Structure 1
């Protein structure tokens, strides 16, 4: 397996640029993805995630820069790469009036894949019991899983997923996480975009955080969070301690009372928790450390993006 982030990665992107009129959608993007890696591209609306993904997939021509997939250039459209990559787009389109099995068998037939292998893919995504159900009768989560199954029908080496869990309920999202874990365990390289920072933190080996067409940070979620040097927040039920008492605890950098809870900010949580234990103030205590969402907001800001 190639070293993660190495120059000999399964995907190598160098100084990618794409402009639409006055908008610089992609502005000097470079990254590599190793074989078997789960790589996430994160960013607010309009950050350039989808355009970057489409260029890497060979669906869109860059203005400049280079992309290599498995040692091949994806643009102009490269027939040698098509059997080795699977693509699931934001908006999935299916053939009218076909069942889940028929949809998958139709996609598989385009690549010469047997019906038996297609049936195995339905089982992989948990749709074996819906094989004879028409696509338009499936739930949103089931349609997303069918879309991923179609992208995997020909057993590609690299799978591109553009917001695969968008608009799904929490249960469907978590079910899909299990599917994505199984796909990676099969040795597939996964590149995906998402607005759900919690799932990126759980699923991804590395993430690139984009905004205004540029990569602002790129590393494993754990390393990005550690690099933020954000305080830990210790939350107590209102009335357990007064603000004045909390402010005297060594290591507490700030105290906030909102009428429901008392929140202590600290970069040295161990002695603060020990002091709270001595005061008998641990009942109902919650500790919140920094997350990938904190890193994301620190880098991209908090303003609303339409």
Structure 2
């Protein structure tokens, strides 16, 4: 399929959806953003605004706040938080588009999502992050070997639609990797997010930067991450990316030092901003609850719960 023929709907106009919209529009694709409320109004009035080399730029994008069942797209990218994923898929249940790409975490597997959209489901995970401040996207890019978009069929087969999606990413010059076991990849990623982000909250409150940067908090991440990695291994999950296997082999002191450095980054500082942190807390809470269900289904109790 050529870029001019492809119609792309991005369901969710937050950081991830906005970034994909910019890249795909620049590559010549026919892109529509689905947004609500103030974000819908802002996009209609100002276009998609973003920071590039310190300057606020704007790109025009088609934006909708309702979707008809016969409004068909080649790909629908669902770019919402995990705690909103089921409601987003329910909104797409009767739409006739054949490929629904879920760009979000998942800590339990795909059965509930498939109950809603069936074999149209194509799990994926985004390759970048950032924030939207006052309606302007501030993107955060990581090295390509860390931040490539991951996607793949649930059964691991490289199908025609996987090849078409790969062509789309190549055209948009977006780094990507095709995974044979997306469930393992997403569960592993969820475990790392749960371990790293849950420490930024204590008793339902955001901790302060001074507390976050202590050795105690770094150690808490290390212990939590190792416990969850061991738990999912016992459940038969292959740890992916494989580099996380090193976490189980290296001494806690070494891992603590890594997380002490991470806790001092601007990324973590941004994560502690109230709006960002509260949204992340809701997502992490849902990921953790579903991970516990997943482990319980395999008769495994995490060391963290002992």
| TM-score after normalising by structure 2 | 0.27
Ranked by relative contact order (alpha carbons within 8 Å, sequence separation 6 or more), the top structure is 1
Normalized per residue, the structure richer in helix is: 2
Instruction: Judging by fraction of residues, say which structure has more strand.
Output: 1
